Structure 1
Amino acid sequence: MMIEKLNHNSRTTEVDAALVRMIGAYRKTSLNSDAYLADLFAGLEGQSALMSEAIRRMKAESVLEEKDEMRDATLRSVFFMVQGMMYHPDPAVKAAAETVNKVLDHYGMSVIGESYATESSLIGSLLGDLAKPEVQTAIASLSGLAELVAALQAAQDDFEAARIAFEEEKGQETTQVNATALKREVVDIINNQLVVYLRAMAQVNDAVYGPFARTLSEIIADNNEAVKRRSKKKEPAA
């Protein structure tokens, strides 16, 4: 029978999901007496575990990036609000804004471009300076600024929590394996070893190999159809 090959454009998460289904389907068969398949799936199970670890790390890193972007956006809002209030017609408001701006100027908005560790340290110091009594009095005079500073503190806390989760995820991994490289290896094994072997064995002995070959074919077809649908969504309208 003709089993199509796994689409190379499949995402890492799609390949991982397909592989998990393949392993599950294999375990339900009585093909463990086939030494070639047994060795092949033993290797694939190891690859699946590594891929799952790498994907978890990718997700943790993605969350970390999102939290950093939120923190950056909130910090910009604090700077922009204070800079705008420095032109307020009310002298009292203007004076309060200038007091807060002196603190902000000490750090500058360029902290956004620093490394995660440096930015976290600088924002932590900034929040500490903004919490000083004389600065708090000025902040209280500027409508909406206290809420923005509180939002910055929350964004900082969220980022630090995400950073801890990311570091813990990295620390739990036995090895730092690139998810994309793993995907390529797994797709190569599936296409050039598993699919090729089952195509041949299903022709030779359909009663033994046919059911699993057809299940594998369905798993791959489902994956490839999902990839095709996703690709079509990206195509511009004619």
Structure 2
Amino acid sequence: MKRLMTNSCMKEVDTVATRICKVYEKTGIKNDIYLDDMITGLREKRTLLSKAIKYAKSKFYLKEKVEMRNYYLRSLIYLAQGYSRHPDPTVKLAAQKIENVINRYGLSVTGESYPTKPSLFNSMLADLVQSDMQDAVLSLSGCIELIASLHAAQEELEQAQIDYEKEKSQERIDAKVTDLKEEVTNIINNQLVVYLNAMMLVDEATYSDFGHIVAEIIEDNNEAEKKRQKEPEFAE
């Protein structure tokens, strides 16, 4: 039985461990306290790994939402700055009016601690949609669309923050994802594979079915990993 490739990604290691644990539950192996303890340890570490992956994913998702919100804010600022140099006095005045509102908040708002950001952004958005701002907003092509996009991005960010904080409070992850991945891989490679290889020689009737399925699970993962590593990367 081959070992699990150590450069398998976190999700793949999690999947392999999950499959092994599920298969073990259906085996007829009994009275092997050592193997049972080994699978229990694998299951516990796999659970932590799965939670850590989910937590890291929500954190990355939150970062994406922050970047998207900031992108629309910068776009609105640049749009107003551009129109403020327009030769048409009406357009120029409208752009300056938009700029005046933005300048009360500006890009500096992205550097504030997060709890203050929603109120600052929502205050700015509220100012931009005041009735006395409508003529100015409508005078600048693309301005109303950017404000709408900024508003939607801010709402998505606030929801992402709520989801992130909820997961953070529910799941206490003490170890890093990479450390947990290594621990799960070590249990599979240095304990389970070694033990099953030996026991299949000693008692093939008892351990053969489980051992062969574990071998297939690992082999499937390794083949997929080899294929993934050979795939060329294309620049976007």
TM-score (norm 1): 0.91
What corresponds to 1:197 in structure 2?
195
Q: Following TM superposition, by how much is the alpha carbon of 1:70 offset from its aligned partner in structure 2, in angstroms? A: 1.4
Contact 1:72-1:112 at 8 Å conserved across structures: yes
Q: What is the alpha-carbon distance in structure 1 between the residues aligned to residue 174 and residue 69 of structure 2?
A: 28
Query: 1:25·1:212 contact (CA, 8 Å) conserved in 2?
Result: yes
Single out whichever of 61-70 and 179-188 deviates more from structure 2.
61-70
Write the deviation string for residues 129-153 of structure 1: whole angstroms up to 9, x where unpaired.
2233323332122222112101101
- Answer yes or no: is the 8 Å Cα contact 1:139–1:146 preserved in 2: yes
Aligned partner of 2:123 among 122, 125, 129: 125
Paired position in structure 1 for 2:135? 137
Tell me, in whole angstroms, the C-alpha distance in 1 between the residues paired with 2:73 and 2:172.
37
In 1, distance between residues paired with 2:204 and 2:174? Answer: 41
1:149 aligns with 2:147: yes
Deviation of 1:91 after TM superposition, in Å, equals 0.7
Alpha-carbon distance in 2 for matches of 1:118, 1:180: 32
Q: Distance in 2 between matches of 1:69 and 1:86?
A: 26
Paired position in structure 1 for 2:214: 216
TM-superposed deviation, 1:86? 1.0
Write the mapping of 1:38-117 to structure 2, written as runs, cut at 5 A: 38-117=36-115
- Post-superposition offset of 1:174: 4.1
1:108 deviates by 2.5
Tell me which residue corresponds to 1:9: 7
**Aligned equivalents of 1:235, 1:99: Cα separation in 2:** 47
Counterpart residue type for residue 81 of structure 1? L
Structure 1 position 223, deviation (Å): 0.9
Structure 2 counterpart SS, 1:7: coil
Aligned partners of 2:102 and 2:124 also within 8 Å = yes
Secondary structure, in 3 states, of the residue corresponding to 2:104? helix
Amino acid in the other structure paired with 2:99: N
Could you tell me which amino acid in structure 2 is paired with residue 49 of structure 1?
T
Bigger mean CA offset, 128-137 vs 29-38: 128-137
- How many residue pairs are counted as aligned between the two chains? 234
CA distance in 2, matches of 1:203, 1:114: 64
Q: Within 2, Cα distance between the matches of 1:144 and 1:41?
A: 59
Cα distance, 1:125 vs structure 2: 2.6
Deviating more after overlay: 14-23 vs 111-120: 111-120
Q: Distance in 2 between matches of 1:121 and 1:177?
A: 34
Aligned-residue identity in percent: 47
* Structure 1 residues 117 and 186, CA gap change in structure 2 (3 angstroms): same
2-side partners of 1:32 and 1:88: how far apart?
A: 82
- SS of aligned partner of 2:141: coil
TM-score by length of 2: 0.92
User: Residue 164 of structure 1: CA displacement?
Assistant: 0.5
**CA–CA separation in structure 1 for the residues paired with 2:127 and 2:179:** 46
Q: Could you say which residue in structure 2 is the equivalent of 1:32?
A: 30
Q: Could you tell me which amino acid in structure 1 is paired with residue 167 of structure 2? A: E
Sort the Cα spacing of 1:38 and 1:9 in 2 relative to 1 into closer, same or farther, 3 A: same
Unaligned residue ranges in structure 1 (runs of 5+): none
Distance change (3 Å), C-alpha of 1:68 and 1:25: same
Moved more, 184-193 or 124-133: 124-133
Give the one of 184, 193, 196 matched to 1:186: 184
CA contact (8 A) 2:85 2:92 kept: yes
